[in-house]
Structure 1
Amino acid sequence: MRGPDVPAKALDARALAALAANPGCRRRAILDGAGVDKAGLASALGAPSAFGQSQFALTRGNAFEARVKADGGAELLRLVHARLDPGAEPPREAHVPDLSAPGPAGRTARTALALREAVEAGGWTLLDHPMLALDVAGSPAFLEPDAVVVHPDGSWTVVEIKSFPMLDGSADPAKVGAAARQAAVYVLALEDVAGRLQDSAPAPRVRHRILLVCPRDFSNLATASAVDIRKQRAVTARQLARLTRIEEIAAGLPEGTCFAPGLPAEELTAAVEAVPATYAPECLAACELAFHCRERSRSAGAVTTLGRPVRAELGGLSTVDDVLAAARGELGDPGDPAVAALRRAAALRAEALSGREVAACP
């Protein structure tokens, strides 16, 4: 489906987290499942995406991460102990194993071995950029969290290090949510590893509270917060299970559907439009095809362009034209709460405009 001789684009944690954020989008599900390069596809469709981090943000993030992990991760382990495991022995000295190995598969095996050894040895262990594998639609997706900490009791914690600040102990909820969804992917991958290490003593346990490390206020000093990702983990697991059935989506497509960026624009547009999308404004921060889908959604007058909360309030009214018709009393059941609210709002607006016209008369 991605075209002859077109290599598959590997899924990373950000892509899998974005899938979980919009589980109803069949278009993204099949494109990601087929390994299509959505950035190249968006450019070929004439709607290139600005999605992604700037070079400045990447440089700043790498510098902050290096600072947090300096001195054998002493500051990072102190934060893990203080926020997640204050009852354990303080991490005065921690083991930081070498995880280097040839290729992603080799690094994945080396990470699994390091986790086993850490559980058996006890004490604190910091795994810096381990490599994990998660089965996605029948093929492995290799994932690289910022860090994984093994506690003295043998449990494992995912650590996410971000460059956005925590101001007075709290950060931007949207950014925290995105980090939680990304961490949920890592937790699922770690649970797969733990399932293969059940013979270890004690049995490994993956914690569902991750540590989010950010700069404190406007400084370069680190602070952290424990984030419960159980909800995000459940949503991500359901979406990945749905991805394994992408053949059901593919079965409904026209014969010969192909998303190769080199195809003529008309043919490529028809292929993309053959798969229904569920656009929402949140897609602009998470999907390379967001600008294309937004344009199509606006041209169709879909109320989803106004956001998911508005869409949920409008019930069965799926287009702007339907909403306006319902407000004018031309469409809809008057007993429907959404229709009744729209007609009440229209009446109040008409009354307000009428009063303004009267006030404007000499």
Structure 2
Amino acid sequence: MSPSVPQATAAPGPAGTAARLDALRGPVPPRSHDARTIAALTVNPGCSRRAVLDAAGVDKRKLAERIGFPARYGQSPFAITRGLAFEKQVKADNCAALLELLRAEPLRFDVPEHEYVDLGVEPEADPAAPVNLDRAARYERTRQAFARVAAGEPLLADHPLLRLDVGGRTAYVEPDVVALSARPADASASAPARLYVAEVKSFAVIDGQADPAKVGAAATQAAVYVLALRRLFTELGVDPAIVADDVLLICPTDFANKPSAHLLDVRRQIAAVERQLARLPRIGALIADLDPAVDFDLAVDPPEAKGEPGREHRSAVELTKSLTMIEARYAPECVTNCEMAFHCRSEARAAGAADALGRSVRDALGGIESLSEALEIADGTAGAGSGQHEAARLLRAAARAYDEALRVAPRAAGGSEADG
């Protein structure tokens, strides 16, 4: 009788995947992807742990707090209030300030008159007390508005709601505004107008310079919106090239609150987002082999008596154990992009993983996964494996240089004392 060969577990179908993801999350509403989390995929696309948590809609910030590693990044309430006030200023009077920025120096866009449409409120609602639409209704209204644009109507869409497929699940994203039918000053009169996504940010541009990290993050986030808008036009049977490769970044100038407009070429960021969405493993394949015990239920039952804490469905120990059963791929960049970063960093350091030192170190080590293995190869107590000979040569050269530096340092110190 021939020995049986283990077979890989087949990925569940869409219904089975959705049911398993709901079970992973427990009886709490899901947290959805947004432009920030999709943009973060370009930072660390190979992390299965984040992919599963995001697909299941687990609140990663709350999970990190429950296991004792609270996230330490995010905007302060003051920064959020300032940002909302600046956005309100830019969008006042049906985005009059935005249109003026497009037409003025240095952009000098040819912008026709637009019909302003706020896609985030009921069309019949009292403007003084707008009623927010649910996501499905908002998306349908957005689709109808851009169908009118495809037919040639000039619309300026505020609060459009777009969507992308992320790992087999639908994610909704909301750009600040889409300024439609604009033509750059250097374009010929016969050139078609393009649709421009405008991203309003409250960080300042001082003397023509802004924080490169913040500009880069804004560009990647805007690229998500461009990609989502292009996919909507593709669904409508319209050439997606109608959406410009450039986006409008609206920021305060210097130390005043006066808005300024800057054109950013986001082709590189669009390509990066597309590449990572295409590479993102289908979530069904990721959860197919998960232990049934893996569970991130963050629900808390009401207290039985006043003053007593509620009963947590899962303890910190149980949640941590579930995390260890999904592979993570920590990198230092995670600290500013993922709420789970401090837990994963602690885990990577405890395991002596080379990932904890960053991608450049990991890549230079050429397949040597742990720091202990790297040290053993460097001092000659372990041999290099297949494909590790170049990394081993560099490690041993570095070890010799380090040992030589230690030998020279005492002599140099002794000599300087004698000279004194």
- Provide TM-score, normalisation by structure 2: 0.77
Deviation by residue 1:141-160 (Cα, 9 ceiling, x = unmatched): 22211111111545322111
Does 1:6 pair with 2:28?
yes
Aligned to 2:11: none
Aligned to 2:99: 77
Aligned to 1:278: 329
Q: Which one of 321, 327, 344 corresponds to residue 397 of structure 2? A: 344
Q: How many residues align?
A: 357
Cα distance in structure 1, aligned partners of 2:413 and 2:241: 75
Does 1:260 pair with 2:297?
yes
Gaps of 5+ in 2: 1-22, 123-132, 183-191, 299-312
Does 1:126 pair with 2:156?
yes
Deviation by residue 1:314-350 (Cα, 9 ceiling, x = unmatched): 2222222223233323345498443333333332232
Q: Give the counterpart letter for 1:109 in structure 2.
A: E
Q: Give the counterpart letter for 1:232 in structure 2.
A: Q
Offset at residue 107 of structure 1 (A)? 1.6
Aligned to 2:229: 190
Offset at residue 249 of structure 1 (A)? 1.0
SS of alignment partner, residue 239 of structure 1: helix
Offset at residue 278 of structure 1 (A)? 0.8
Say whether the 8 Å CA contact 1:38–1:289 is kept in structure 2: yes
Q: Which one of 151, 156, 160 corresponds to residue 181 of structure 2? A: 151
Cα distance in structure 2, aligned partners of 1:227 and 1:305: 33
Aligned pairs for 1:199-238 (under 5 A) are 205-238=242-275
Say whether the 8 Å CA contact 1:83–1:226 is kept in structure 2: no
Percent identity, aligned pairs only?
Answer: 46
Offset at residue 276 of structure 1 (A)? 0.7
Cα distance in structure 2, aligned partners of 1:285 and 1:214: 22
Aligned pairs for 1:103-142 (under 5 A) are 103-123=134-154, 125-142=155-172
Cα distance in structure 2, aligned partners of 1:288 and 1:106: 30
Does 1:180 pair with 2:202?
no
Deviation by residue 1:65-113 (Cα, 9 ceiling, x = unmatched): 2222234323323444569975x5345x432123223322222222222
Offset at residue 40 of structure 1 (A)? 2.0
SS of alignment partner, residue 219 of structure 1: coil
Offset at residue 119 of structure 1 (A)? 4.2
SS of alignment partner, residue 247 of structure 2: strand
Cα distance in structure 1, aligned partners of 2:110 and 2:47: 46
Q: Give the counterpart letter for 1:299 in structure 2.
A: A
Q: Give the counterpart letter for 2:142 in structure 1.
A: T
Q: Which one of 392, 403, 409 corresponds to residue 356 of structure 1? A: 409
Q: 1:337 to 1:3 in 2, by over 3 A?
A: closer
Say whether the 8 Å CA contact 1:19–1:28 is kept in structure 2: no
Deviation by residue 1:259-285 (Cα, 9 ceiling, x = unmatched): 113313332222111111111111111
Cα distance in structure 1, aligned partners of 2:62 and 2:24: 11
Say whether the 8 Å CA contact 1:168–1:217 is kept in structure 2: yes
Q: Which one of 115, 126, 130 corresponds to residue 95 of structure 1? A: 115
Say whether the 8 Å CA contact 1:154–1:204 is kept in structure 2: no
Aligned to 2:209: 170
Offset at residue 28 of structure 1 (A)? 0.5
Cα distance in structure 1, aligned partners of 2:143 and 2:193: 14
Q: Which one of 249, 256, 277 corresponds to residue 286 of structure 2? A: 249
Say whether the 8 Å CA contact 2:293–2:322 is kept in structure 1: no
Q: Give the counterpart letter for 1:235 in structure 2.
A: A
Aligned to 2:356: 305
Q: 1:288 to 1:5 in 2, by over 3 A?
A: same
Q: 1:305 to 1:82 in 2, by over 3 A?
A: farther
Question: Which deviates more from structure 2 when the two are superposed, residues 61-70 or residues 217-226?
Answer: 217-226
Offset at residue 23 of structure 1 (A)? 0.6
Gaps of 5+ in 1: none
Q: Give the counterpart letter for 1:96 in structure 2.
A: Y
Cα distance in structure 2, aligned partners of 1:341 and 1:167: 44
Cα distance in structure 2, aligned partners of 1:77 and 1:281: 40
Cα distance in structure 2, aligned partners of 1:24 and 1:236: 13
Q: 1:109 to 1:276 in 2, by over 3 A?
A: same
SS of alignment partner, residue 263 of structure 2: strand
Offset at residue 184 of structure 1 (A)? 2.1
Say whether the 8 Å CA contact 2:365–2:391 is kept in structure 1: yes
Aligned pairs for 1:326-341 (under 5 A) are 326-333=377-384, 336-341=389-394
Say whether the 8 Å CA contact 1:111–1:130 is kept in structure 2: yes
Q: Give the counterpart letter for 1:254 in structure 2.
A: D
Q: 1:30 to 1:89 in 2, by over 3 A?
A: same
SS of alignment partner, residue 255 of structure 2: coil
Which structure: larger Rg?
Answer: 2
